[in-house]
Homo-oligomer: A and B are copies of this chain.
Amino acid sequence: MAFSERVDRLKSSLIREILAAAQRPEVMSFAGGLPAEAMLPKVEWSQMPSTMGQYGMSEGEPGLREAIAAEARALGIACSADQVLIVSGSQQTLDLASKLFIDRGTQVLLEAPTYLAALQAFQLFGAECLAVPQEAEGPSLVALRHSLEHHRPAFAYLIPTFQNPSAVRYSDNKRDAVAALLDEFNVTLIEDEPYRELVFDEGDAKPIVSRMRHASWIYTGTISKTLLPGLRVGYLIATPDLFPYLLRLKQSADLHTNRIGQWQAQQWLGSDQYRSHLNELRHFYRLRRDAMQAALAEHFGDLAEWQLPQGGLFFWLQLKQQVDTRTLLKPALGQNVAFMPGEPFFINPDENLGYLRLNFSHVSPDRLAEGIRRLASVVRDASMIEAA
């Protein structure tokens, strides 16, 4: 069978395999990024017009595009509804952007660590990925400038607000500095913001795209983390030089995003009901984050270092001993605990050992401590073997 050369780069997805194993009801899974079932809002369908069953426009539903543009303007992003493209979950933005920018060998600039599925999508299309190390308040500016001076990346892909997996929220200063650097070198920014609304602690930070003056950008978001992922409704907002291409690529990919999900999303966005749902969601997840922080402090204090995430869905642990955490998966699953090894979030996994990503939204607080205790014992056993 003669496949395309890109298929050689199609990795078997570690996430898929872990999530499959984590489906067993007895497994306490810190692996995925799923919303808590209990926080999926009840939705009403009885008012949906029958016209939503017909083919729709590739751009998306006009009213939804307006609502998204209005929210973006409230964040300081100068844009109109004409720049909004509804996509089939923000994962599709990565596919469309890959098609728009990436040939084999095209350089793209990413945080290290970065979102695993973005890395896989860009590599599938043949990108040469350049890493900028993530620090406590955002990417290293020295490394970013150095990379921009020595390379010509087609775009930088950044997740500035509660980054997946590091949970970092870029400071205001970092945001300004990143915007200025991308403008200076005229490099397109893809700013991915699935977690912006899942904020637990004070602090606000305008998107980087709202601080840029010259360079092109794509800003992408989703309702999957705040409303219902099963609707598969996300969006991108793009500068007018990029939009027409992304629209045609969208049409070629799947004609348009399902209209029933778009209609449902439109019922919520900007409504009082949505604001109140978001408040409940933040409260609910804050409690789970605090429960995990307490459990980690008890069981991982001597094993790892981490920052308290101020939003999002994850803790990012750096083990004190540099264990390949992929080797911990099997013993952990043997204890009915699942987690995400940190290595696959890096361009060079084997040079970045000893990180774990732990989701805190899925396991209930009363079971969580036991899961963390078991995981700590798996890590401790491995560290002892390593040290021996």
A residues in contact (CB < 8 Å) with B: 1-7, 10-13, 16, 32, 34-35, 37, 40-43, 45-46, 48, 50-56, 58, 87-89, 91-92, 94-95, 99-103, 106, 117, 120-121, 124-125, 152, 154, 188, 216, 224, 227-233, 241-242, 245, 248-249, 251-261, 264
Instruction: Indicate whether A230 sits within 8 Å of B52 (C-beta atoms), given known contacts A89-B254, A254-B89.
Output: yes
21 residue pairs bridging A and B, Cβ less than 8 Å apart: A1-B188, A2-B101, A2-B154, A3-B245, A5-B103, A16-B251, A40-B50, A41-B53, A45-B48, A53-B227, A55-B224, A87-B254, A88-B232, A88-B254, A230-B259, A232-B254, A232-B257, A232-B259, A233-B258, A258-B260, A260-B260
Determine whether the beta carbon of B4 is less than 8 Å from that of A103. Answer: yes
Known: A95-B253, A248-B10. A53 touches B40 (CB 8 A): yes
Pick from B6, B45, B95, B101: contact of A3, CB under 8 Å:
B101
Q: Which of B5, B230, B241 contacts A260 (CB under 8 A)?
A: B230
A92 / chain B contacts, CB cutoff of 8 Å = 253-254
Q: How far is A58 from B13 in the complex, measured between Cα atoms in Å?
A: 12
Known: A53-B231, A55-B224. 4 other contacts (CB 8 A): A4-B103, A10-B249, A13-B251, A254-B254
Q: Is the CB of A252 within 8 A of B16?
A: no
Query: How distant is the Cα of A380 from the Cα of B220 in the complex, in angstroms?
Result: 51
Question: Given A54-B230, A254-B89, A258-B261, do A106 and B48 touch, yes or no (CB 8 Å)?
Answer: no
Residues in B with CB closer than 8 Å to A255 are: 89, 91, 232
Which of B11, B51, B248, B256 meets A232, CB within 8 Å? B256
How far, in Å, is A308 (CB) from chain B's closest CB? 26
Let me know if B232 and A258 touch, CB within 8 A: yes
Complex interface: chain B residues within 8 A of A45 (CB):
45-46, 48
State in angstroms the CA–CA spacing of A55 and B89 once bound together: 11
Give CA–CA (A54, B32) in the complex, Å: 12
CB distance from A41 to the nearest CB of B (A): 8
A55 touches B230 (CB 8 A): yes
Do the beta carbons of A248 and B103 come within 8 Å of each other? no
Which of B12, B43, B56, B248 interacts with A53 by CB under 8 Å?
B43
Whether A228 and B10, one on each chain, are in contact in the complex, defined by CB atoms closer than 8 angstroms, is: no
Nearest B-chain residue to A241, judged by Cβ: B1
Complex contact A228–B53 (CB within 8 A) = yes
Contact B37 A42 (CB under 8 A): no
Distance between Cα atoms of A89 and B88 in the complex (Å): 11
A360: min CB distance to chain B, Å: 17
Tell me, in angstroms, the Cα distance from A124 to B245 when the chains sit together: 12
Please measure, in the bound complex, the distance between the C-alpha atom of A101 and the C-alpha atom of B54, giving whole angstroms.
Answer: 31
Measured CA separation A45–B206 after assembly (Å): 38
CB distance from A175 to the nearest CB of B (A): 23
A99 in contact with B248 given A254-B89, A254-B92 (CB within 8 Å): no
Interface centre among A4, A10, A229 (most CB of B within 10 A): A4
Which chain B residues border A94 with CB–CB below 8 Å?
Answer: 252
Tell me the nearest residue of chain B to A154, going by C-beta: B2
Query: What is the CB-to-nearest-CB distance from A349 to chain B, in angstroms, rounded to a whole number?
Result: 18
A230 touches B258 (CB 8 A): yes
Shortest distance from the beta carbon of A29 to any chain B beta carbon, whole Å: 13
CB contacts (< 8 Å) of A51 on chain B: these are 37
Query: Given A231-B260, A252-B95, A254-B95, does the pair A106, B4 have CB atoms closer than 8 Å?
Result: yes
The 8 Å CB contact of A12, one of B58, B230, B248, B264, is B248
